Amino acid sequence: MRIKTLFFGSPEFGLTILKSLISLDYIEIVGIVTQPDKEFGRKKVLKSTPVKEFIKQSHPEIKVFEPVKLKAVALDILEEAKPELIVVAAYGKILPDSIINYPKYKCLNVHGSLLPILRGAVPVQMAILKGFKETGVSIQIMKQEMDEGDILFSKSIIIEDRDTSKTLMDKMAVLGSEIIKSNLTDYIEGKVTPIKQDSTKATYCFLTDLSYEKALIDWGKDSTEIDRLIRTFNPEPIAYTNGLVVKLMDKFVCNIKIDGKVKIYESSLLESSDNLEIPQNLEIHTGEGIVLNGKLLIKTSGNFICILKLQLEGKNIVSSSDFINGLKNRV
């Protein structure tokens, strides 16, 4: 007998988990619940979630539900799908009790942290922002309270120095997929004992932690903190600074002022091996840039950070070398 499974998910993270479920011969996907199409860009083109796009192209026989208000149609979805198992992976909305308590094999959530650490909506991003050296994936039995359910499986992963939210999310989606493929059978067969979370160790994160306003770079912070912020807000909404003054070092010092928002897509920390000597008689303030030995450096609190990829307002994303060449053309 195949287990009738209803899947809730929207972005690429959810799609990777969905593909792992589809690959299991004992799982029958009886429906997909995903976020409705949304308008994107200046032309407001309607765009479907990656989960919906995949189902339309590869499995059109599977019913797709796109409720605007999930609670209002929850019973209708359950009546039509009649799931024995529900799996949730980055759906993006809170599930009502009617859904959580419905299936025989419970409602399972694939969560991007080592619970109870970083309960909430943006655990992958916040692990980078907080400077964690490792994080992980937890699969829990859902409760109405946010991410407080008993844990079935968890596995850790190292956060690499250059990981962005995008690269780490992709790695963790693969990790979650591997956990499901290796362990879901044991759970279905009743061989797994759920572990209660220690709520005294819980921490939380919210969508507001990644608001556009918080993507504004404070150059008065340490370069390590700024580098983490830049990696956290990539791929969205992208860290930025309001205007920039760059000192171009040639036969003389030339200050070039750049107006408007400057988005910073990629940066790196300076190493002692870089051997970049700032002229002692050069006055440079926090938040100002300098071009030295072909590198674009910005002064932070007592240090410099190297900018690798950026975008001026109304312009294309460019490498720092192309940006520097553009500056030279201004002189």
Domains of the chain: total: 2
Cα–Cα nearest to 202, from 325, 100, 118: 118
> What's phi and psi for 3, nearest 5 deg?
-85, 120
Domain boundary among 183, 207, 231: 207
The whole-number pLDDT of residue 280 equals 72
Q: Are residues 248 and 270 in the same domain?
A: yes
pLDDT at 55: 97
Q: Which of 82, 136, 135, 89 is nearest to 108 (CA)?
A: 89
CATH number of the domain enclosing 107:
3.40.50.170
Q: In the listed set 207, 241, 276, which residue is the last one of a domain according to the structure?
A: 207
What is the CATH classification number for the domain harbouring 237?
Answer: 3.10.25.10
Using the 3D structure, point to which of 207, 239, 264 is the last residue of a domain: 207
How far apart, in whole angstroms, are the C-alpha atoms of residue 94 and residue 92? 7
**What is this structure's pTM?**
0.93
Claim to verify: residue 244 and residue 279 sit in the same structural domain: yes
Q: Give residue 304's pLDDT.
A: 92
Q: How far apart are CA 174 and CA 168, in angstroms?
A: 10
Are residue 142 and residue 217 in the same domain, yes or no?
no
**Whether residues 202 and 225 fall in one domain:** no
| Together in a domain, 68 and 176 | yes
pLDDT in tens for each of the 331 residues of the chain?
899 999 999 999 999 999 999 999 999 999 999 999 988 777 788 899 999 999 999 999 999 999 999 999 999 999 999 999 999 999 989 999 999 999 999 999 999 999 999 999 999 999 999 999 999 999 999 999 999 999 999 999 999 999 999 999 999 999 999 999 999 999 999 999 999 999 999 999 999 999 999 999 999 999 999 999 999 999 999 999 999 999 987 656 788 999 999 999 999 998 765 667 777 778 889 999 999 888 999 999 978 999 999 999 999 999 999 999 988 776 5
* Full residue range of the structural domain in which residue 196 is found: 3-207
Whole-number Å distance between alpha carbons of 91 and 159: 24
Measuring CA to CA, which residue among 228, 201, 224 is closest to residue 214?
A: 228
